[in-house]
């Protein structure tokens, strides 16, 4: 049997150090007395029960009492050095706050559970997979699938919503009838779609989102059964989705018409997507091979036709996190570097404090305080510091999360970046406690070397001094290395971004206003009516004083993600050219300042009934064999019908549809809308003077043509460009900020070490100067010595920066390679600033009076 006293002694370790040291012996004594007197059997069990109760009551009491004492003492210590305390807290607050803020993004996108049943098994079926497109065939396919438990199909578009409560432009998902059951979420109020409601004629029903119900109906339950209009088509509301459910991508209305997309008149390109839930126990790889076989069975040869290698099953979480997933992880990496640099800095500051307090600690040790007791005090001090920093960091985190929300809104409402989430808060508290504990332990480890009597009467020994010095130099080298890696990354991203800003997009974004009009579901259902409407709208726009030119296009650069493609057969070539098709009006190119580099622009004569013409872009012309091969030649048929084809009359300068190096220019064939007017158009106008001032005037001018036609997304082209660049700008700014902040912290670290070293060596320096060394020589010597750890850090940092650059290139399409020049710039900047810091720290040598130093000795 275990010795009861041994067990009790072990339990005594739970008391705080001071109490244990003070009363450990009498406690043991009393326990052993009671145990002995109890005799045996039941009485001894009673003693144990009483002892355990006693421990449970007294341990927290004593812990609380000593913590209060230590905290009071720590506050006194810190208030003696308010400047240092502020610096340490601010550095840590920024470090912890920024890391927590970025973690909240990662948490929302990658860690937090999605609001669906068994979300980890949910997958998106990659395009170009096409499941059967009639209700019976689709439902039979999903029911008999050997790898999917369930699957649903949807197609998302923006539509005009109108009802008794007003009108709005909302995202609508046309779905299969089992959409909600496949997600595993049922409407909060009302019902989801009945099994046969995706059949034509029965699909006049809709489920609306909780948010729309609140905004549009004021949360009135009578919304159920009421009628709403989507692009003028009436639908009956049968259900209200649960709060937070807005899948896919902020959907406000779901209606089961995915098998009959023509039912609701709409504009823009539409396509169907399918998601499903894998059968339990099936791995993704296994499911993918089954999916591949299924796809080949359903649509043989489609991959070859589309020029795709393979079709994938994409886990839904990955799909929702999409392009920001990797970038967020890069950001988390960068911000962790900043935290590490801040940590190294604070460790350095605390080391200085501990050396300064050596005498005080030695005194306390000689008065009987044990190592454990002093270590407990030091750990409390650092945990207090990081606790304060974490509290202040929460504000920084809140701000960082808000910035991230603006730059990269989450796909689902439930993925909003919040810092009031147990995981994020736990992360922050964990960071604070961990860093606090590490900083407490690091200085506390030095106490082991404390020799009370010697340290009280003498300066600390050379051995312990050099140990501290080595530790501090190592910390500086670590800071420099991390900073260099960060700076390298920042410079790379900054250069990529400025290249992106300076890139020729193929049009000018300044002084252009843009607005969308949609004729879908309006009375303009015939081509000639649409043509007339566009003519009238552009006429009104051109008459606005200050408007220089105005035109329209169905797919505006910076605003379009989906394009219509065709295989264009030229009479000059036997081979069909893949090309996008767009409808652009007269003056569109002039308004956008897109040069027509050969041939002519569209004119008012290119109307319905006139010879059918087209303009292509340079990319198209290059693919087809140069301008000679296209200009004046005919594209045989645009949509494969019996139409007569179009003649290419001009070549336009190629434009980039998205800002950034990821954008590869597409071959485009432009048609005049007069010849086949499209129900959706973005109108653009080039104006003189302040661009924003024209937005309301232009909207009113267009609405005056017909109040029933919705005019929306009224923005300047510069605003659209800024929105397009928001994400890269956010990443670049964040990494640049982290780089500069890291640099600042590293410089503070280098300066601190240099000035501390001078302080420690005042006597030696005084003696050297007294025997004839010049102060300037001393300064050079110190500069050399201080820059040694900086150089070591630089060597490691350069290697790290190269490695990081390659890693970044894999992760971010905007990142460029880290080259020698980037490293040289970063290293030179760091070396120059570090030298300046050391040089200014050595200034006090000039004021050093050797006689005074020697007298003090």
Partner 1 sequence: MPRKDELTVQDLLPLAPVTFHMLLLLSEGERHGYALKREMAKQTKGKLNPGPGVLYGSINKMLEQGLIVESEERPASHLDDERRRYYRITPLGRRVAQAEAMRMRQLVEMAEANLGLPEPA
| Residues near partner 1, by CB under 8 A | 15, 19, 22-23, 25-27, 29-31, 33-34, 50-51, 53-55, 57-59, 61-62, 65
Nearer to partner 1, 19 or 147 (CB): 19
Tokens of 596: 């027509």
Say if residues 855 and 766 touch (Cβ distance below 8 Å).
no
3-state secondary structure of 214: helix
Instruction: Tell me how far apart the alpha carbons of residues 477 and 493 are, in angstroms, rounded to a whole number.
Output: 24
Nearer to partner 1, 34 or 819 (CB): 34
Instruction: Tell me how far apart the alpha carbons of residues 342 and 478 are, in angstroms, rounded to a whole number.
Output: 11
Q: Smallest gap, in angstroms, from Cβ of residue 47 to partner 1?
A: 9
- Alpha-helix runs per DSSP H in 511-551: 527-543
Q: Smallest gap, in angstroms, from Cβ of residue 363 to partner 1?
A: 20
Q: Smallest gap, in angstroms, from Cβ of residue 56 to partner 1?
A: 9
Which stretches does DSSP call E strand in 510-575?
512-518, 547-553, 565-569
Q: Smallest gap, in angstroms, from Cβ of residue 72 to partner 1?
A: 10
Nearer to partner 1, 60 or 430 (CB): 60
Nearer to partner 1, 26 or 574 (CB): 26
Nearer to partner 1, 49 or 824 (CB): 49
Instruction: Tell me how far apart the alpha carbons of residues 598 and 624 are, in angstroms, rounded to a whole number.
Output: 15
SS (H, E, C) 609-642: CCCCEEEEEHHHHHHHCCHHHHCCCEECCCCCCC
Nearer to partner 1, 49 or 610 (CB): 49
Nearer to partner 1, 51 or 157 (CB): 51
Beta bridge partners of 170: 159
Instruction: Tell me how far apart the alpha carbons of residues 380 and 95 are, in angstroms, rounded to a whole number.
Output: 20
Nearer to partner 1, 18 or 185 (CB): 18
Q: Smallest gap, in angstroms, from Cβ of residue 70 to partner 1?
A: 15
Task: Kindly write down the DSSP assignment for every residue of 418-446, as one continuous string.
Answer: -S-SHHHHHHHHHHHHHHHHHHHHHHHHH
Q: Smallest gap, in angstroms, from Cβ of residue 440 to partner 1?
A: 24
Q: Smallest gap, in angstroms, from Cβ of residue 63 to partner 1?
A: 11
Alpha-carbon dihedral sign for residues 9, 12, 17, 18: negative
| Radius of gyration, CA atoms only, the chain | 36
Nearer to partner 1, 48 or 437 (CB): 48
Q: How buried is residue 199: exposed, middle or buried, by Cβ count under 10 Å (0-12/13-18/19+)? A: middle
Q: Smallest gap, in angstroms, from Cβ of residue 22 to partner 1?
A: 7
Sequence-ordered list of residues with C-beta below 8 angstroms from that of 631, at least 6 positions apart, any chain: 598, 599, 621, 648, 649, 650, 651
Nearer to partner 1, 54 or 133 (CB): 54
Q: Smallest gap, in angstroms, from Cβ of residue 23 to partner 1?
A: 4
Q: Smallest gap, in angstroms, from Cβ of residue 8 to partner 1?
A: 9
Nearer to partner 1, 14 or 314 (CB): 14
Q: Smallest gap, in angstroms, from Cβ of residue 46 to partner 1?
A: 11
Q: How buried is residue 799: exposed, middle or buried, by Cβ count under 10 Å (0-12/13-18/19+)? A: middle
Sequence-ordered list of residues with C-beta below 8 angstroms from that of 821, at least 6 positions apart, any chain: none
Nearer to partner 1, 31 or 730 (CB): 31
- Nearest CA to 599 out of 632, 571, 621 is that of 632
Instruction: Tell me how far apart the alpha carbons of residues 58 and 23 are, in angstroms, rounded to a whole number.
Output: 13
Cα–Cα separations (whole angstroms), residue 731 to 496, 499, 825:
11, 15, 21
Q: Smallest gap, in angstroms, from Cβ of residue 65 to partner 1?
A: 8
Nearer to partner 1, 11 or 474 (CB): 11
SS (H, E, C) 317-377: HHHHHCCHHHHHHHHHHHHHHHHHHHHHHHHHHHHHHHHHCHHHHHHHHHCCCCHHHHHHH
Q: Smallest gap, in angstroms, from Cβ of residue 33 to partner 1?
A: 6
């Amino acid at each position: 049997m275990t010795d009861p006293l041994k067990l009790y002694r072990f339990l005594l370790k739970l008391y705080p150090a001071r109490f244990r040291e003070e009363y450990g012996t009498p406690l043991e004594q009393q326990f052993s007395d009671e145990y002995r007197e109890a005799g045996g059997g039941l009485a001894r069990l009673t003693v144990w029960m009483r002892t355990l109760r006693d421990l449970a009551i007294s341990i927290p009491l004593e812990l609380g009492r000593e913590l209060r004492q230590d905290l009071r003492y720590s506050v006194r210590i810190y208030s003696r050095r308010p400047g240092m305390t502020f610096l340490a807290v601010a550095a840590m607050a920024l470090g912890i706050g920024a890391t927590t803020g970025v973690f909240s993004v990662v948490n929302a996108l990658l860690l937090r559970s999605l609001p669906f049943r068994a979300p980890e098994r949910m997958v998106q079926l990659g395009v170009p997979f096409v499941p059967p497109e009639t209700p019976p065939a689709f439902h039979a396919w999903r029911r008999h699938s050997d790898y999917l438990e369930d699957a649903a199909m949807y197609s998302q578009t923006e539509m005009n919503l109108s009802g008794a409560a007003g009108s709005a432009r909302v995202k609508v998902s046309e779905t299969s009838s089992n959409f909600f059951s496949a997600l595993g979420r049922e409407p909060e109020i009302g019902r989801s779609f009945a099994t046969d409601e995706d059949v034509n004629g029965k699909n006049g029903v809709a489920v609306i989102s909780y948010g729309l119900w609140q905004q549009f109906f004021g949360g009135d339950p009578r919304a159920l059964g009421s009628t709403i209009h989507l692009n003028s088509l009436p639908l009956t509301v049968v259900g209200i989705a649960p709060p937070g459910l807005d899948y896919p991508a902020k959907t406000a209305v779901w209606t089961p018409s995915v098998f009959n997309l023509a039912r609701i008149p709409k504009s823009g390109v539409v396509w169907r997507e399918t998601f499903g839930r894998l059968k339990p126990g099936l791995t993704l790889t296994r499911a993918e091979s089954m999916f591949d076989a299924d796809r080949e069975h359903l649509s043989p040869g489609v991959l070859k036709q589309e020029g795709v290698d393979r079709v994938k099953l994409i886990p839904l979480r990955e799909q929702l996190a999409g392009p920001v997933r990797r970038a967020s992880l890069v950001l988390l990496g960068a911000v962790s570097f900043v935290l590490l640099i801040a940590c190294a800095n604070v460790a350095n500051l605390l080391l200085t404090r501990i050396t300064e307090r050596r005498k005080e600690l030695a005194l306390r040790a000689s008065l009987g305080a044990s190592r454990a007791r002093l270590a407990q005090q030091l750990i409390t001090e650092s945990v207090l510091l990081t606790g304060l920093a974490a509290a202040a960091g929460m504000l920084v985190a809140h701000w960082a999360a808000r910035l991230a929300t603006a730059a990269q809104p989450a796909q689902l409402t439930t993925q909003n970046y919040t810092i009031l989430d147990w995981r994020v808060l736990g992360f922050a508290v964990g960071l604070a406690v961990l860093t606090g504990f590490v900083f407490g332990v690091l200085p506390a480890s030095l106490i082991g070397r404390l020799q009370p009597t010697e340290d009280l009467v003498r300066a600390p020994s050379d051995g312990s001094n050099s140990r501290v010095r080595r530790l501090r130099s190592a910390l500086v080298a670590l800071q420099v290395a991390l900073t260099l890696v960060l700076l390298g990354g920042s410079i790379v991203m900054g250069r990529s971004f400025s290249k992106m800003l300076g890139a020729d997009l193929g049009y000018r974004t300044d002084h252009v206003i843009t607005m969308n009009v949609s004729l879908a579901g309006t009375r303009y259902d015939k081509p000639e009516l649409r043509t007339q409407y566009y003519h009238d709208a552009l006429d009104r726009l051109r008459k606005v004083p200050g408007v220089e030119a105005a035109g329209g296009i169905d797919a505006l650069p910076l605003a379009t993600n989906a394009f219509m493609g065709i295989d264009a057969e030229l009479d000059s070539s036997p081979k069909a050219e893949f090309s996008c098709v767009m409808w652009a009006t007269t003056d569109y190119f002039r308004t956008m300042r897109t040069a027509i580099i050969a041939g002519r622009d569209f004119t008012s004569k290119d109307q319905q009934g006139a010879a059918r013409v087209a303009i292509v872009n340079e990319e198209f012309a290059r693919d087809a064999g140069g301008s000679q091969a296209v200009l004046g030649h005919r594209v045989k048929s645009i949509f494969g019908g019996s139409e007569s084809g179009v003649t290419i009359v001009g070549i336009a300068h190629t434009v980039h549809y998205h800002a950034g190096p990821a954008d590869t220019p597409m071959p485009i064939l432009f048609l005049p809308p007069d010849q086949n007017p499209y129900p959706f158009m973005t109108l653009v106008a080039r104006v003189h003077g302040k661009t924003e001032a024209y937005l309301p005037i232009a909207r009113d001018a267009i609405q005056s043509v017909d109040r029933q036609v919705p005019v929306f997304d009224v923005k300047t082209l510069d605003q659209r460009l800024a929105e397009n660049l928001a994400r890269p700008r956010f990443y670049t700014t964040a990494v640049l900020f982290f780089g500069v902040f890291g640099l600042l912290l590293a410089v503070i670290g280098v300066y601190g070490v240099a000035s501390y070293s001078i302080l420690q060596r005042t006597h030696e320096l005084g003696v050297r100067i007294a025997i004839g060394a010049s102060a300037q020589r001393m300064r050079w010597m110190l500069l050399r010595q201080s820059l040694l750890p900086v150089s070591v850090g630089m060597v490691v940092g350069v290697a790290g920066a190269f490695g990081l650059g390659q890693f970044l290139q894999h992760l971010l399409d905007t990142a460029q390679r880290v080259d020698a020049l980037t490293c040289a710039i970063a290293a030179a900047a760091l070396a120059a600033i570090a030298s300046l810091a050391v040089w200014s720290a050595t200034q006090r040598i000039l004021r050093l009076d050797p006689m005074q130093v020697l007298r003090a000795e």
